[in-house]
Amino acid sequence: MFKVYFATSNKGKFLEVKRLAEAFSLQVEQAPIKGVEIQHESLAEIASQAVRQAYRKLKAPVMVEDAGLFIEALNGFPGPYSSYVYRKLGVQGILKLMEGERNRRAWFLSALAFKAPKMKVKVFLGRVDGEIVLQARGRKGFGFDPIFQPEGEKRTFAEMEPEEKNRFSHRGKALAELAEWLKKRGYI
């Protein structure tokens, strides 16, 4: 099986990716070595810089993901600052910011950057649209999962099993794109 390191400190992300990757004949190993993350409005740029740093250390196929929750009524906030906002305000903080707001539209974006020997960094994007619910529901998943309900669903991500979430999540889509690309090039 083709082995790729996943440089992340987020266990939730790692478990989702590992589970899904197996279905694509990809063996994923966590490398908790993410360097300094740059501040940038573009998730793709953040992930690209981070994967370059990780590759310099590992010298082996590696991926880094940068993801975020974008809320329309808040002009895309917290977006690239999702990790920081989650730590400082949490799920309840976002619900508070959204109090009385009728436009609940939101989306998750994932930028998955991959680097292997003798190739340039490649970035794969994934997006899932949905809404911010009125009250947190569910205990599965991580981060903002309890307040995000994907379009056409009656459950939040935190009320779904990881397999279900992976089927249409931003991360699942980006990883599927990477797997297709690896397949075309004969890696897997």
Residue 37 or 183 having the CB closest to ligand ITT: 37
Binding test (CB under 6 A) with ligand ITT, winner from 66, 131, 159, 177: 66
The yes or no reply on residue 112 touching ligand ITT (CB under 6 A) is no
Number of residues this chain uses to bind ligand ITT (CB under 6 A): 22
* 16, 65, 66, 131: the active-site residue: 66
User: Which 117-136 residues touch ligand ITT, going by CB under 6 A?
Assistant: none
Is residue 145 annotated as a catalytic residue, yes or no? no
The yes or no reply on residue 13 touching ligand ITT (CB under 6 A) is yes
Cβ density class 19-40: b for 16+ within 10 Å, e for less: bbbeebebebebbebbeebeee
Binding residues (CB under 6 A) for ligand ITT: these are 8-10, 13, 34, 65-69, 82-83, 86, 108, 141-145, 157, 169, 171
